[in-house]
Amino acid sequence: MPRIGTDEWVEQQELRTEYYTGLTAPARRAFDRVGPGPRFFAFLGICALFPFLTDSPFLIRVGVNVLLFALLALGLNIVVGWAGLLDLGYVAFYGFGAYTYAWVSSGQFDIHLPTELAILIVVTASALLGLLLGLPSWRLVGDYLAITTLFFAQIFVELTTNLDRLQLPWMDEPLDLTGGPNGIPGIDRMQILGIELPGVRDYFFLLLIVFALVVIGLYYVNESRTGRGWRASREDPLAAELMTTPVNRLKLLAFAMGAAIAGLSGSIFAAVQTGVFPQNFEVVLLIMIYAALILGGAGSISGAILGAIIVASVPEILRTPENARFLFYAAAIAVLVATMRPWQRLAVVVGAVVAFGVVVYQLVALAWPEGVEGETAGGRFSGLLGSWMVIPAENQELIGNIAFVLLVAGVLALTQLRGDARVMLLVPTLYLASFVWENRLIAQPSVTRQLLFGAILVAMMTRRPHGLLGTPRVENPV
Amino acid sequence: MDFFVQQIVNGVTLGSVYALIALGYSMVYGILKLLNFAHGEVYMIGAFIGYFVLTSLGGASSPMLPVAPLLILMFLAAMLGAGLLGVVIERFAYRPLRDAPRIAPLISAIGVSFFLQASALLLFSAQFRTYNTPQLIPFSTGLEVGPLRISLVRMLVIGSSIFLMLALTLLVSRTRLGKAMRAVSYDREAAAMMGIDVDRVIVATFFIGSVLAGAAGVMVGLVFERVFHFMGFIAGLKGFTAAVIGGIGNIPGAMLGGLLIGLAEAFSSSYISSTFQNLIVFGILITVMLIRPTGLLGSPVLKKV
């Protein structure tokens, strides 16, 4: 074996790469041979087809949300993934972009600038705000920076909610800057290069173009000197500084670029929604953007996109009980298939869960007949489910709550067990999970969404901190 | 003048609650260098436990126990429940990440906080609840010094938080556990080599910090009444602000910071504008952060290469 790092070692790189095995191997090898460029354009092509496949304005609106989320996650990726600065005030830039767009193109101050100019102003203003709010990153690192920026986000929400009666000394009447809790309605539709964008479908295409430009731009930035500088200052700011990397300037640049992308998506969001409201920009959204980035893998462009697709579309699927149920069981089975080896054990577990359910159902039906008389939430498999799942006719909420607490305890216990004990506990836990799902969660999509995102963040961090598509990295202890 | 002194009383009441929350942040940060975002949610759960103990014992209008034992029971249950919750959070969300990159436990903490909030929303629904304290202890009973009136409830809150803080100070400075905590916070590796069971010390720290947060939850329920699933977020932010202003990792600093934040809030809401009270508190924090990142009582940190 040649020494690591020598020319001979580099030449033998082929020998060390892992080869795919199994049936899907040729397809996966072919996928790897296609470069990132063609892969991305293929993805864009599929996205561009999407509005032609469906007529439902709702689905296209979901597509718009996915693209907005992807843009936000990409912007956050610059700051968090590449520069390694924990920016919890990110959502403020999104809101600032939306509000700035609203100021220059609505009846609030009766200013209606051409869209191109308005967007230019929004992007410049957001980038400047990013520079300004990035300044603390010179002095503060890690958690301290995180909390300071979180306060910026809070201040933004407080300001937008309260700046509707601003008493200025040189003005007679109070100034209504943000419309307070009622926000600014009646924002102009965009009109780009003389083409008016009246419908959601048009915004989808606009967003797709913006998205493509941003991704291509970011790809080259990441490969450039600047990108390497970010990674260097993320891994070890002190060493990077010594190697003459302008760490402080790079930090500001990261903040400004992230803010510019967030501001841009904010302006499009304002135009799609034709209104901006303070509650659009609360911490919940911040958590969702973080969940998208972390889930996909911080530091990876494709990861940010994948995470955004999952995070923005899952809540929409949860909206109707029928789809939510399908998603729940599909996800449960997918996770089992992905994590259980060998497949015999998987078969045993699935069979055992079904059998366990049947036994529990019969026992409950014997002991307490009202316990199985409840109605399922309806949908495709409700008939089948109704004779497997215990659904009490009364006290459903209380029993569901107790089951939820038990379920959390069960899942926590599962993480501690190994071997056969784990499989034994897995069976009742899975049944309990679907019990809680059918009885309690299916009717409350918004709560379910929050629960899922919280759980995803914790599970991702404890199991796979680099996300689905990210690369693991080792950090030296501080 | 009376109004001014009354505001001081308000500020001190509020401040002692913030100080209790700040202590939990500060202790955990001192030992793990971890910003426990879920701490505010532990406090919220504490307030809910107090509420459910009170209602299951007949509620404020017709309590089944005399007032004193009832209050003690509420406090004990909330403190124990919150403490156990803190230990569980540490065990499952933070311990696997002890040696992970710095960002990992922070994101995990945000996840826990989000999860607990949503769980509270699911289990207890979104409605506001109140302890109905005036029916239990009329606000009119209390001390009257000249024009100044301090209600019994406020005295109780201030008194019990002073008691808890004294107990904590004694624990940290006088007991073996306190010594071990100080050692672990100073240098975890060296402490482990000296035979200190670091895991046990960390669990104890989480337990004690969460116990204090649980107590703070009941106090807020008693004085300011509204208990709901989102209450932990802002209170957590303010508790954290207090900890940072005093110098995070520093116990007297957390108490001082709590008092300062409480007073700042009471005065800004009564003299300037209640809409901007949060803004003023956050403004103070950002200023302190930028001018003196280690806080008022914290010592500057040396950067090691």
Report yes or no: A473 at the B interface, CB cutoff 8 Å.
Answer: yes
C-beta separation of B93 from A462 below 8 A: yes
A414 touches chain B (CB under 8 A): no
Asked whether residue B210 is assigned to any structural domain, the reply reads yes
| Cα–Cα distance, A380 to B62 (Å, whole number) | 50
Contacts A456 to B, Cβ<8 Å: 111
Give me the amino acid identity at B62.
Answer: S
Within a domain: residue B54? yes
Across A61-70, B248-257, B268-277, the highest mean pLDDT is recorded for A61-70
Cβ–Cβ contact A274 with B under 8 A: no
| Burial tier of A356 (Cβ tally within 10 Å: 0-12, 13-18, 19+) | middle
User: How large is the average pLDDT for residues A130-144?
Assistant: 83
State the pLDDT at residue A1: 62
Task: Tell me the pLDDT band of A477, cut-offs 50, 70 and 90.
Answer: very low
Which of A147, A454, A465 is facing B114, going by the closest CB pair?
Answer: A454
pLDDT of residue A379: 60
Which tops the pLDDT comparison, B214 or B132? B214
CATH 1.10.3470 domain residues, chain A:
29-318
Residue B176's CB is within 10 A of a number of other CB atoms, namely 8
Q: Tell whether the model's pLDDT for residue B4 goes beyond 90.
A: no
Task: State residue B252's pLDDT score.
Answer: 85
Question: Above 70 in pLDDT, residue A422?
Answer: yes
B36: domain range?
2-291
Whether the complex's predicted ipTM surpasses the cut of 0.90: no
CB B21 within 8 A of CB B276: no
Q: Which residue has the tokens 């509707």?
A: A164
Q: A166-180, A231-245, A349-363, B239-253 — which is least confidently predicted?
A: A166-180
Report which of residues B101 and B232 the model is more confident about.
Answer: B232
| Per-residue pLDDT reduced to its tens digit, B220-229 | 888 876 888 8
- Assign B266 a pLDDT band (cuts: 50, 70, 90): confident
Neighbour-count burial for B132-170, b at 16+ CB within 10 Å, e otherwise:
ebeebbeeeeeeeeeeeebbbbbebbbebbeebbeebee
**pLDDT-based confidence at residue A75 (cuts at 50, 70, 90):** very high
Q: State yes or no: pLDDT of B305 exceeds 60.
A: no
- Domain assignment present for B181: yes
| Cβ atoms of A238 and B305 closer than 8 Å | yes
Q: Is there a contact between B47 and B215 (Cβ–Cβ < 8 Å)?
A: no
Per the CB < 8 Å rule, is A287 touching B114? yes
Task: Give the pLDDT confidence of B169-183 residue by residue, as tens digits.
Answer: 899 889 999 999 999
Residues of A in contact with B100 (CB under 8 A): 461, 465, 475
Which pLDDT does position B167 carry in this prediction? 92
Q: pLDDT, tens digit, for every residue of A376-407? A: 666 666 667 777 777 777 777 788 888 888 88
Confidence of residue A478 (pLDDT cuts 50, 70, 90): very low
Residue A166 forms beta bridges with which residues?
A175
Cβ-contact B104, A433 below 8 angstroms: no
Q: What's the CATH code, domain A29-318?
A: 1.10.3470
Average pLDDT over residues A347-360: 86
| Proportion of chain A above pLDDT 70, given as a percent | 93
Chain B hits for A441, CB-CB cut-off 8 Å, are 122
CB atoms within 10 A of CB B226: 12
CA-to-CA distance for B251 and A58, rounded, in angstroms? 54
Confidence of residue B67 (pLDDT cuts 50, 70, 90): confident
Predicted pLDDT of residue B300: 63
pLDDT value of residue B187: 87
Cross-chain Cβ contact A412/B88 below 8 Å: yes
User: Quick one: average pLDDT of B260-285?
Assistant: 81
What pLDDT does residue B281 have?
A: 79
CA distance to A344, A420, B19, B49, per residue, from B27 (Å)? 48, 39, 12, 23
Which B positions 6-35 lie with beta carbon below 8 A of chain A?
Answer: 29, 33-35
pLDDT tens-digit profile of A3-22? 776 777 777 766 666 666 66
Is residue A467 a contact partner of residue A306, using CB atoms and an 8 Å limit?
A: no
Chain A interface mutation, best of B29, B103, B269, highest count of A Cβ atoms under 10 Å: B103
- B272 and A CB contact within 8 Å: no
Share of chain B above pLDDT 90, in %: 31
Closest-CA residue of chain B to A157:
B279
Cα gap B131→B61, rounded to integer Å: 10
Give residues 326 to 345 of A whose Cβ lies within 8 Å of B. Answer: none
Instruction: Determine, for residues B285 and A151 on separate chains, whether the beta-carbon distance falls below 8 Å.
Output: yes
How far is residue A412's CA from residue A428's CA, in Å, rounded to a whole number? 14
Lowest mean pLDDT among A122-136, A226-240, A266-280, B138-152: B138-152
Q: A-chain residues within 8 Å CB-CB of B305?
A: 238
Query: What digits encode the pLDDT tens for the residues A175-224?
Result: 777 777 888 887 877 777 777 777 788 888 889 999 999 999 999 999 89
Instruction: Please name which of B40, B42, B184, B34 lies closest in space to residue B97, comparing C-alpha atoms.
Output: B34
For residue A139, give the chain B residue with the closest CA. B290
Instruction: Locate all alpha helices (DSSP H) within A368-441, ordered by sequence.
Output: 382-386, 396-416, 419-436
Closest Cβ–Cβ partner in B111, B115, B116 for A461 = B111
Higher pLDDT, residue B28 or A171: B28
In the structure, what pLDDT confidence band is assigned to residue A467 with cuts at 50, 70 and 90?
A: confident
pLDDT score of B1: 66
Q: Do A444 and B237 touch (CB under 8 A)?
A: no
Check residue A250 and give its pLDDT: 92
Q: Which residues, 6 or more positions from B29, have their beta carbon under 8 angstroms from its beta carbon?
A: A143, B35, B36, B243, B248, B249
Which chain B residue lies closest to A133 (C-alpha atoms)? B286
pTM: 0.86
Mean pLDDT of the region B44-66: 86
| B122 vs B148 pLDDT, higher one | B122
User: Hey, is the C-beta of A158 within 8 angstroms of any chain B C-beta?
Assistant: yes
- Best interface-test mutation with B: which of A149, A151, A406 has the largest number of B CBs within 10 A? A151
Name the residue among B202, B186, B172, B215 with its Cα closest to residue B77: B215
- Does any CB of chain B come closer than 8 Å to the CB of residue A457? yes
- Select from B78, B83, B14, B91 the least CA-distant residue to B48: B78
Question: Would residue B296 count as lying in a domain?
Answer: no
Q: What is the mean pLDDT of chain A?
A: 83
Give dist(CA A249, CA A134) in Å, integer. Answer: 10
Quote the pLDDT of residue A18: 62
The total of structural domains in chain B comes to 1
Cis amide bond preceding A342, omega within 30? yes
Indicate the average pLDDT of chain B.
Answer: 85
